[in-house]
Amino acid sequence: LPRFYEKVQALHQDPEASVDNPLLAFSLIKRLHLDWPNVVYSEEATENTQALQEGFQEVEEELPGAEDLAGAAQALMRLQDVYGLSVEGMAKGSFQPAASGCLPLYSPGHRAALSADDCFYVGKVAYDTGDFYHSIPWLEEAVGLFRLSHGSWNPEDGSSLEAALDHLAFAYYRAGNISHALSLSKEFLHYEPSNQRVVRNVAKYQELLELGHAAKAVPLRRPNGTQLRSRDAYEELCQRPGGQPYLERLPRLSCSYETNGSPYLLLQPAKKELVQAQPHVALYHDFISDSEAETIKGLARPWLQRSVVASGEQQQEAEYRISKSAWLKATVDPVVVSLEKRIAALTGLDLPVPALVDHLHLLALGGQSMKSPLYRMKSGNRIATVMIYLSSVQAGGSTAFIYANFSVPVVKNAALFWWNLRRSGAGDGDTLHGACPVLAGDKWVANKWIHEHGQEFRRPCGADPSD
């Protein structure tokens, strides 16, 4: 118990920082869901056993569940992929790109190293789904760390060197690397020579090698994401510092104070930064105040649920959408009413009829999400989007416009605006966008989606049909 307490205290000295750093967040969830119950119900907890277990049972329902822990592990692998991070670096608490010569993407004030048991669990989450591309490097890291500790085992740990070797050997076998699977299995038998299953595996691997199967090993390939067709372009944008490829080649970009002909903005014009001319994407700085942002977040917190995507006329959860969301009606609070008026003044569009505009949509905790192809028959397609950043992040979280080849970093209290449709009513494919995962921090955004019906005189068709 003292050892476990000291470990937790060292990792989580600042409770508020625990969720900002994804490695600390994963460690905290794992300590609460796996490690602490292992201590409470271990044979070593002989003194005050009943009191320990009763105290744990009182708070058990409030602790993170298996889905939370698996999601945290998957989130680490998602960060590993999108930002090209080194597994060895992540295990040491560093967000270091795997490519040599690159600077760390983020340097936390308090570095949180993962234990051998932590790395084993991340690898096992991938292993259980047959994803050996991700499981092998995490299990390799777990084996290496267990070896450094000479195979020692603690009551709070759910794994051991033997378990890591066993999983890693089979992962290499499934990946086609028979010789390495054999080597790891023999090392396993050094610790458990009576394990007949592994004895049979060794015989099988030796037979395969004698038949010449060693040459069939192929490089591991990352699983294809069915929902993200432009994955390479998306990830390059997420990794790109600054978001724009060649700023000196974009002379049309500008900053200005805008009233849009609205008396509402006359005394306090909007601070417009034109981010991209085609498609037209603008960032309006200081669009809301700190107090307004906190009010909106407070209103949304009780209603947050796992984000969904459109699937025909139904909505369903998707693995690639890991954020939580809520909807706020304009009548819920005067702050939301004021924000709706500001959006109408900024865009020049009408927001009076609920059927013609979605309620304010709140997204929390960042994550990766793509624009939904949702089409509503009564109100038409989305003509415009206003995305308001309610918080700042330490790293990551940019909005990547994949086909247009640029990204916009998170700017607290700013509003990002773009037209989803051309004046002709045709969709603008260049506005396809994805949210880069938050590398460090707590990301909140509020989206306002405005639909085309009722806007015919606010944004009429142009003279050019292709416009």
Do 449 and 385 touch, CB atoms closer than 8 A? yes
Question: How far is Cα of residue 297 from the mean position of the Cα atoms in its chain?
Answer: 19
Q: What is the per-residue DSSP string for 24-40?
A: HHHHHHHIIIIIHHHHH
In the block, which residue shows the tokens 């709706």?
340
Q: What is the pLDDT of residue 17?
A: 59
Distance CA 186, CA 207 (A): 14
Burial 14-38 (b: 16+ CB within 10 A, else e): eeebbebbbbbbbbbbbbbbbbbbb
Residue type (1 letter), 245: P
The amino acid at residue 28 is L
Q: What is the pLDDT of residue 458?
A: 83
- The full length of the chain comes to 467
Cα separations in angstroms, 294 against 289, 335, 337, 389, 391: 9, 10, 15, 11, 9
Low-confidence ranges of the chain (pLDDT < 70): 12, 14-18, 44-48, 151-153, 213-218, 224-229, 242-252, 306-323, 352-358, 365-379
Distance, CA of 34 to CA of 70 (rounded, Å): 11
Residue 172 tokens read as 């290499």
Separation of alpha carbons 252 and 274, rounded Å: 8
Please confirm whether the linkage preceding 193 is cis (ω < 30° from 0). Answer: no
Helix and strand totals (H; E) in the chain: 14, 16
The first and second tokens of residue 366, run together, are 């960042």
Map out the domains of the chain as residue ranges: 1-211, 240-451
Name residues whose C-beta falls within 8 Å of residue 234's C-beta, 6 or more positions apart in sequence.
82, 228, 400, 402, 434, 436
Task: To the nearest 10°, report the CA torsion of 120, 123, 127, 129.
Answer: 130
Secondary structure E strands in 267-307: 270-276, 281-285, 305-306
Query: Could you give the residue ranges of the DSSP H alpha helices within 290-333?
Result: 290-300
Q: From start to end of 365-410, where are the E strands?
A: 382-389, 393-396, 399-401, 406-408
Please state the pTM of the whole predicted model: 0.84
Q: Which fold has domain 1-211?
A: 1.25.40
According to DSSP, residue 465 is labeled T
What pLDDT shows up at residue 356?
A: 47
Residues 6+ apart with CB under 8 A from 274: 252, 253, 254, 255, 256, 280, 281, 282
Topology, domain 240-451: Jelly Rolls (2.60.120)
